[in-house]
C-alpha cells in the first residue's frame, strides 16, 4: 500500500513553508494530493499509481544513466551507472564523453574496476549502482556521456546523459564588479509615444530611448516582457505581457514597418501607407490615451503582408534571403510551431471561431504534432512562412536597438524581463510534445500582505520531473533566447527557481501547494547562459522566498531586487538606501504599483475601493498608514539631505507630488548602495494613472495606458535634463563610497 503523503514528499511537494512574516504554515493534505493529480499521476487508483511508479523506476534503471547531470565547474565529476548485478565483473565497460566542441574522451576498463556504491532490486532484477569518475577540468558547456557494457554474450547500451558543466557565478560587467553604480529607466515599450510610431511603442522608439538615456548618463532601459502575444485575438483585454503565447519568441506588434530594409523598394507598400485615409488612422491611433492593439495590428499586418508577398525573401541567391532562411533553420521546430499557431489561429478567427486558445480549436488541431496540423501547415505553407518572416523582422529590429546601445557605450543597454510562465491556451503549451507543461494547475502565490487571499495567475507550471527527463532543453532554449540582444535579464518571481505555488482548479489560491524545482540544476543553467551571453541576472526575489534560495542567489551572483516602499523598519520608518544590499537593483515602484504621483494622491486606494479590491474599512486603514508613510519619507529625505528647501518638511503641505519631491526621491535612491537603480519613465513626467492594477481584468485597461508625452517632448524638458544630471552625479558619488 502506498503512503500517498510520503510519496508526495519524494515527488517534491512540500508539507509546510514559512510565510513572509516568518510563520510556519502547514499545507493541507488535500492540496498536496491535488498537486500530485496536476502532475498527471493517477492518485485515485492505487493499483494504477503503483504501476506507473514501478514502470518509471524500471525505465530509469534500464537506461543505465540519468538523462541529465549539472555539475559545478572545477568540481570532481561522478557519474552513477546502473548495471544488472548478473553481468560478469569481467565484462568490459567502455564510455565516451563527447564535448560540446566535438572532441571526445574515451576510456574502457573491466566492470569490476567501477566501484559499486549501492544496489537496488527493481522489478525482480537486482542492479548495482556504480560510480564513474570523470576529469575535473572539463570545460563549461553541454556535453554528452554514453556507456556500454559487454560481457561477450550480451551488450548493454546506456541512454545518453547530458552532462552540463556550469559556472558557479553569473556574468557581472567588470565595472560593476569594481563598484560602479549605475541608473536606468524602466518602461512598458508599448507605452512609448512618438511622432512616427503607429499608436504603440516600437523597436525604433526603443532605439531612440536608449540613445537619450545613454547621453544623460544612464546605463540601461528596462522593458516589459517582449514575449509573443496573440496577434489574431480581437479581445482588447488579452494583452498582458505576463500571460504570453510563447516566452521564446517576440511580440510582432513592436515592429517598425518603415525600418524594414525591403520597405522603401516596395512601391505597393509605400503607396498603401501614404494614402490619406491610412495616415488619418495612424494619427488617430497615436492620439489615443490607450493602445488599441487590434487596430494597430490590423494596419501593421496589412502592410507587412504586402511586403512579404511583393519582396519574397526566401531566395538563396540574395544575402538577405540567405539570412532569412538561416533564421528559419536556427529557429527549428520551435519557430515553425510559433508561426503555425499564429497562422492557424488567424485562420480560425477568420472563419468566425472564437479561437482564443488552442484548447478551443477544432479537436483535430489541438495537438501541434497531429497529422491534421501537419497537413494544415503544408497546405498553408505561405501563411506559416509569413509569420516566420515577422519573427525574423522583430528579432532583427531588437538586435539593432541593442547594437545602438552598445554604440553609445551603455554598460548594459537593453534590460529584458522574463515572465513567470505562459497561458494554458498558449503556443508553448500547444507545442509541448513531452507533457512538460501541466495545464491542470496554475502558478500563483500563497497569502501575503500584497495578496491576503493568495494569488492564481492563470499560468501553466512546468513539471520538474518531465523537464529533467528532457535534459532541460526547453528551459535552456528559453533562457538563451531571452538573454540575446540585452545586457541584463530580470527573472520575474525568482522564487520559481526553487519552487512554484501550484493552485489546482478545484482549490482557491489559499489552498495551493509548493512543488519543488531542481534548484541547483536551474541555477547552473542560468549561470552558464549568463556567462555565455554576457548578461547580468536580476532575480526578482520579493514575496515568499525560501532562505536556501536567497543564499543560492547570492552565491551565484544574481542581483537582488529592492523596492523603496517595501523597505520599512519595524517602527514604520523607511530604511536608508545606503544600507540596502549592494548587489541589487533598487526601484521606488514597479508596473504593479502606482506611479509616484498616483501613490502620493492615494489614487491606487480610491481605485482599489472602486474596483472592489479594498472594502471601505481597509481603504481607510491604508489611507491612514499612507499619511504616516508620507511624513516618514519626508523625514528620511531631509534627514539624509536628499531634499532641499524646495521640498516642504511636512506632508500636509504637499497635497500632490511635485517635481522637486520627485527629483528628491530619485536622487535619494541614486545615493544608495545598490549597484543599479531603476526609475520609472512615468515619474519623469508626472503620469498619474497606473500601468496595471493587480486583481482587476476588464474593470481597468491594464497594459494599455500610454505615456502622456512623446519621446522628443520628454527629453526636451529642462526638468528631465536637470533630474538625469542629478541622478548621474548621485550615482557617481555613491560609486566612490
State mean pLDDT over 554-566.
96
Average pLDDT over the chain reads 95
Average pLDDT over residues 298-325: 91
Give all strands (DSSP E) within 326-481, no chain letters.
413-418, 442-445, 455-456
pLDDT band at residue 542 using 50, 70 and 90 as cut-offs: confident
Least confident segment among 140-144, 199-203, 348-352, 505-509:
505-509
- Statement: residue 265 has pLDDT above 70: yes
Consecutive H or E run containing 502: strand 499-503
Q: Is 375 helix (H, G, I), strand (E, B) or coil?
A: helix
Under 8 Å between Cβ of 674 and 586: yes
Determine if residue 346 is left, alpha or beta; phi over 0 gives left, psi from -120 to 50 gives alpha, anything else beta.
Answer: alpha
Residue 155 pLDDT greater than 90, yes or no: yes
CA distance 340 to 525: 29
- pLDDT tens by residue, 32-75: 999 999 999 998 888 999 999 999 999 999 999 999 999 999 99
Name the residue with cell 512554484.
500
pLDDT at 669 over 90: yes
Phi-psi region for residue 79, left (φ > 0), alpha (ψ -120 to 50) or beta? beta
| Contact by Cβ (8 Å): 489, 535 | yes
Question: Hey, what's the cell of 681?
Answer: 519613465
312 vs 138, higher pLDDT: 138
Report how far residue 248's alpha carbon sits from residue 227's, in angstroms, rounded to the nearest whole number.
7
User: Which of the four pLDDT bands, split at 50, 70 and 90, describes residue 452?
Assistant: confident
pLDDT score of 695? 84
Residue 24's DSSP bridge partners are: 18
Rounded Cα distance between 331 and 325, Å, is 10
pLDDT classification of 82: cutoffs 50, 70, 90: very high
Q: For each of the domains in the chain, give its residue range(s) and CATH number, in order of start.
A: 74-166 (2.60.40), 251-389 (no CATH)
Judge whether residue 689 has pLDDT over 90.
yes
Q: Is the predicted pLDDT of residue 450 greater than 70, yes or no?
A: no
> pLDDT tens digits, residue range 320-335?
999 999 999 999 999 9
Residues 6+ positions from 94 with CB-CB distance below 8 Å: 106, 107, 108, 147, 148, 149, 150
pLDDT higher than 80, residue 1: no
Residue with cell 471601505: 616
**580 closest CA partner among 693, 492, 675:** 675
pLDDT at 136 > cutoff 90: no
Tell me what pLDDT residue 373 has.
Answer: 98
What is the per-residue pLDDT for 311? Answer: 84
Query: Does residue 634 surpass a pLDDT of 70?
Result: yes
Give per-residue pLDDT as tens, 585-614. Answer: 999 999 999 999 999 999 999 999 999 888
* pLDDT surpasses 80 at 314: no
Amino acid at each position: 500500500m502506498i503512503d500517498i503523503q510520503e510519496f508526495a514528499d519524494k515527488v517534491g511537494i512540500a508539507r509546510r513553508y514559512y510565510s513572509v512574516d516568518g510563520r510556519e504554515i502547514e499545507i493541507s493534505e488535500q492540496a498536496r494530493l491535488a498537486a500530485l493529480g496536476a502532475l498527471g499521476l493517477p492518485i485515485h487508483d492505487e493499483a494504477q499509481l503503483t504501476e506507473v511508479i514501478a514502470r518509471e523506476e524500471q525505465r530509469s534503471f534500464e537506461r543505465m544513466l540519468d538523462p541529465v547531470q549539472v555539475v559545478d565547474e572545477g568540481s570532481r565529476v561522478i557519474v552513477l551507472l546502473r548495471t544488472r548485478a548478473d553481468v560478469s565483473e569481467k565484462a568490459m565497460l567502455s564510455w565516451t564523453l563527447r564535448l560540446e566542441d566535438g572532441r571526445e574522451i574515451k576510456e574502457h576498463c573491466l566492470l569490476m574496476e567501477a566501484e559499486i556504491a549501492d544496489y537496488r532490486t527493481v522489478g525482480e532484477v537486482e542492479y548495482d549502482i556504480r560510480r564513474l569518475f570523470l576529469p575535473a577540468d572539463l570545460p563549461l558547456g553541454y556535453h554528452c556521456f554514453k556507456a556500454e557494457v559487454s560481457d561477450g554474450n550480451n551488450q548493454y547500451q546506456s541512454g545518453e546523459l547530458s552532462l552540463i558543466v556550469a559556472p558557479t557565478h553569473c556574468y557581472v560587467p567588470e565595472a560593476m564588479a569594481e563598484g560602479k553604480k549605475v541608473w536606468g529607466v524602466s518602461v512598458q515599450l508599448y507605452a512609448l509615444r512618438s511622432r512616427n510610431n503607429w499608436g504603440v511603442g516600437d523597436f525604433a522608439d526603443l532605439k531612440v530611448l536608449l540613445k537619450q538615456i545613454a547621453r544623460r548618463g544612464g546605463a540601461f532601459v528596462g522593458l516589459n516582457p517582449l514575449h509573443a502575444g496573440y496577434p489574431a485575438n480581437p479581445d482588447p483585454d488579452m494583452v498582458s505581457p505576463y500571460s504570453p503565447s510563447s516566452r521564446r519568441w517576440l511580440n510582432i506588434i513592436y515592429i517598425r514597418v518603415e525600418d524594414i530594409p525591403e520597405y522603401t523598394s516596395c512601391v505597393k507598400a509605400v503607396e498603401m501607407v501614404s494614402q490619406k485615409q491610412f495616415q488619418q488612422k495612424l494619427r488617430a491611433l497615436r492620439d489615443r490615451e490607450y493602445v488599441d492593439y487590434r487596430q494597430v495590428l490590423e494596419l501593421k499586418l496589412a502592410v507587412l503582408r504586402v511586403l512579404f508577398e511583393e519582396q519574397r525573401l526566401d531566395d538563396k541567391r540574395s544575402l538577405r534571403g540567405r539570412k532569412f532562411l538561416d533564421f528559419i533553420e536556427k529557429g527549428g521546430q520551435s519557430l515553425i510551431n510559433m508561426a503555425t499557431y499564429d497562422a492557424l489561429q488567424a485562420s480560425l478567427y477568420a472563419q468566425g471561431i472564437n479561437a482564443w486558445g488552442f484548447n478551443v480549436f477544432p479537436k483535430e488541431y489541438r495537438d501541434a504534432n497531429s497529422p491534421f496540423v501537419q497537413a494544415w501547415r503544408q497546405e498553408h505553407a505561405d501563411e506559416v512562412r509569413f509569420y516566420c518572416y515577422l519573427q525574423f523582422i522583430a528579432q532583427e529590429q531588437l538586435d539593432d536597438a541593442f547594437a545602438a546601445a552598445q554604440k553609445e557605450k551603455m554598460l548594459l543597454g537593453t534590460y529584458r524581463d522574463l515572465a513567470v510562465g505562459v497561458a494554458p491556451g498558449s503556443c508553448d503549451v500547444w507545442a509541448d510534445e513531452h507533457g512538460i507543461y501541466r495545464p491542470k494547475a496554475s502558478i500563483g502565490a500563497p497569502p501575503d500582505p500584497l495578496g491576503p487571499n493568495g494569488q492564481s495567475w492563470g499560468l501553466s507550471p512546468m513539471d520538474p520531473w518531465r523537464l529533467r527527463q528532457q535534459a532541460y532543453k526547453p528551459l535552456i532554449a528559453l533562457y538563451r533566447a531571452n538573454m540575446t540582444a540585452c545586457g541584463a535579464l530580470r527573472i520575474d518571481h525568482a522564487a520559481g527557481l526553487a519552487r512554484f505555488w501550484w493552485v489546482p482548479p478545484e482549490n482557491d489560491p489559499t489552498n495551493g501547494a509548493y512543488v519543488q524545482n531542481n534548484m541547483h540544476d536551474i541555477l547552473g543553467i542560468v549561470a552558464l547562459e549568463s556567462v555565455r551571453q554576457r548578461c547580468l541576472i536580476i532575480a526578482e526575489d520579493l514575496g515568499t522566498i525560501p532562505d536556501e534560495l536567497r543564499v543560492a542567489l547570492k552565491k551565484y551572483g544574481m542581483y537582488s531586487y529592492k523596492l523603496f516602499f517595501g523597505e520599512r523598519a519595524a517602527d514604520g520608518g523607511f530604511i536608508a538606501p545606503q544600507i540596502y544590499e549592494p548587489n541589487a537593483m533598487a526601484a521606488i515602484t514597479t508596473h504593479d504599483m502606482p506611479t509616484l504621483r498616483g501613490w502620493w494622491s492615494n489614487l491606487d486606494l480610491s481605485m482599489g475601493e472602486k474596483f472592489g479590491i479594498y472594502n471601505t474599512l481597509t481603504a481607510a486603514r491604508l489611507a491612514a498608514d499612507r499619511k504616516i508613510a508620507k511624513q516618514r519619507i519626508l523625514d528620511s529625505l531631509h534627514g539624509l539631505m536628499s531634499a532641499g528647501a524646495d521640498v516642504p518638511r511636512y506632508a500636509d503641505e504637499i497635497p500632490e507630488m511635485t517635481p522637486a519631491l520627485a527629483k528628491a526621491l530619485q536622487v535619494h535612491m541614486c545615493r544608495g548602495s545598490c549597484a543599479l537603480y531603476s526609475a520609472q519613465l512615468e515619474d519623469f513626467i508626472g503620469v498619474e494613472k497606473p500601468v496595471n492594477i493587480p486583481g482587476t481584468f476588464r474593470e481597468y485597461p491594464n497594459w494599455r495606458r500610454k505615456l502622456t508625452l512623446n519621446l522628443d517632448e520628454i527629453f526636451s524638458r529642462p526638468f528631465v535634463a536637470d533630474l538625469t544630471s542629478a541622478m548621474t552625479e548621485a550615482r557617481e558619488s555613491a560609486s566612490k563610497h
